[in-house]
Homo-oligomer: A and B are copies of this chain.
Amino acid sequence: MLHVKGGTLVTAEGSKRADILCGADGKIAHVATTIETPTGCDVVDAAGLLVMPGGIDPHTHMEMPFMGTIASDDFYTGTAAGLAGGTTSIIDFVIPDSRTSLVDAWQAWRQKAQKSAADYGFHVAITHWNDQIYHDMKTLVEECGVNSFKHFMAYKNALMVEDEAFLHSMRRAAELGAICTVHAENGDAVAYLQQDLLSEGRTGPEAHPVSRPAAVEGEAAHRAITLAGLLGVPIYIVHVSTQEGVQAISEARLRGQEVYGEVLPQHLVFDESVYEGSDWLKAAQYVMSPPFRPKHHQAALWGGMMSGQLQTTATDHCCFCAPQKEMGKTDFTRIPNGTPGIEDRMSVLWHYGVKTGKLTPEQFVALTSTNTAQIFNMYPQKGSLAIGADADIVLWDADAERTISAQTHHQNVDYNIYEGMTVTGVAKKTISKGHLVWDEGDLRAVRGAGQYIARQPKRRNVRKPL
């Protein structure tokens, strides 16, 4: 048992002074203005701190095999780093290869994730269409706690799904009460532009953003939303990074479509200039897809979040160390795509969002935790401070500063894209399922303590565009 005492509770709905009592079962046992500490119960002093639902990162790739290598943060190191930053749950991705069934792949990922220090769930990727997939989707939803599927419109000749298969998958998911998510970039256009650039001898990382311009995302987002609209089903767009993407989402929502958009904090603070300069490795370390953009896109992303048209934040946490990045030394298309960030998401969003007055603390909670829990049907188990919810809690110091660095971070990767950035807003203590796992610098993450979040299906209204 743990008594979180003296803090200010902040949820998506509002803020108030209150204590929380975490039960021995890892759930919130009581919430009241003041609680008397039960005998034998540890007390966590929250005076002067904001007490918020633990962060949920709905987009990570721990130890993912990708582009001929494997992401360096595994389920243990990655989730532990998350705890140090206030994130207490993740949803990772099962990405079946073409020879493996969805269910087998899901089992393999379950196996790998046993070592997690924090709770985790899975989206499962659909890359093509056939009868087995049709049936496996049902198994995953009804027996495996999966209620979301992922689609890639990029990565031609690898993960890319065709529109017709995408339609089949969306229809099926909706029948089952699952929601579809999508990486929205036009894979044909990327493939064309990559070849075009390489044929011109442009092999360095500065060609990466040129091969995936904003319009390529805007196009795919618009297409994905249109296809979902034909069926009247919901769609969730991962890592929205462009004004065009925000526009596509908000226009569809105004037509009554159920469309969600996810933002990565790195897209809020970096622009395309990170790919310039003579330091090959530094540029390569920022290679991820979608790439960093001209600055005006950042305003669009902020506006999307402030207006409620973008609902979640994630990291697309996917770590590759220098030797891995160097696989693309002579060909930017072979640089493993991915950036770290699970440890810093919440601080960066607070610093640039709340401290600047763009977001309220309540919106911060919605964007880092509650909305995600609602969309992926983990609420109120996750994303809430209500009695009965999982005792996943972050104690936030709104005024503390920290300087981000690979020297001090807990992520298993040899760089940090935010290196040297001083941010205001720090996770002082993190509680996972009632256990204090991060205490002002002391990381007490426990290998294997994380549990699988079996998410239930949720029937949604069919909403053809108005």
List residues of chain A with CB under 8 Å of any chain B CB.
Answer: 12-14, 16, 32-33, 156, 162-164, 167-168, 186, 188-189, 191-193, 213, 215-216, 218-219, 222-223, 226-227, 229-230, 246, 250, 253-256, 296, 299-300, 302-304, 306-309, 357-358, 360, 370, 374, 379-380, 384, 387-388, 461-463, 465-466
A16 touches B189 (CB 8 A): no
How many Å lie between the Cα of A387 and that of B19 in the bound state? 14
Distance between A423 CB and nearest chain B CB, rounded to angstroms: 19
B219 touches A192 (CB 8 A): no
With a cutoff of 8 Å between Cβ atoms, the chain B residues found around residue A163 in the complex are 186, 188-189, 192
A223 touches B219 (CB 8 A): yes
How many Å lie between the Cα of A303 and that of B259 in the bound state? 12
B191 touches A230 (CB 8 A): no
B13 touches A463 (CB 8 A): no
With a cutoff of 8 Å between Cβ atoms, the chain B residues found around residue A156 in the complex are 164
How many Å lie between the Cα of A462 and that of B357 in the bound state? 7
Q: 3 shortest A-B CB distances, which residue pairs?
A: A163-B188, A253-B307, A357-B461
With a cutoff of 8 Å between Cβ atoms, the chain B residues found around residue A246 in the complex are 254
Known contacts A13-B13, A14-B380, A215-B229: A254-B164 contact under CB 8 Å: no
Known contacts A16-B380, A192-B168, A357-B463: A219-B216 contact under CB 8 Å: no
26 A-B residue pairings within 8 Å (CB atoms): A13-B379, A14-B384, A156-B164, A162-B188, A163-B189, A164-B192, A167-B188, A168-B192, A186-B226, A186-B227, A193-B230, A215-B465, A216-B230, A219-B222, A219-B227, A222-B222, A253-B306, A253-B307, A253-B308, A253-B309, A254-B300, A254-B303, A255-B303, A299-B466, A358-B461, A360-B461
Distance between A217 CB and nearest chain B CB, rounded to angstroms: 10
User: Looking across the interface, which residue of chain B has its beta carbon closest to that of A387?
Assistant: B32
How many Å lie between the Cα of A332 and that of B360 in the bound state? 38
Residue of B13, B374, B379 touching A380 (CB-CB under 8 A): B13
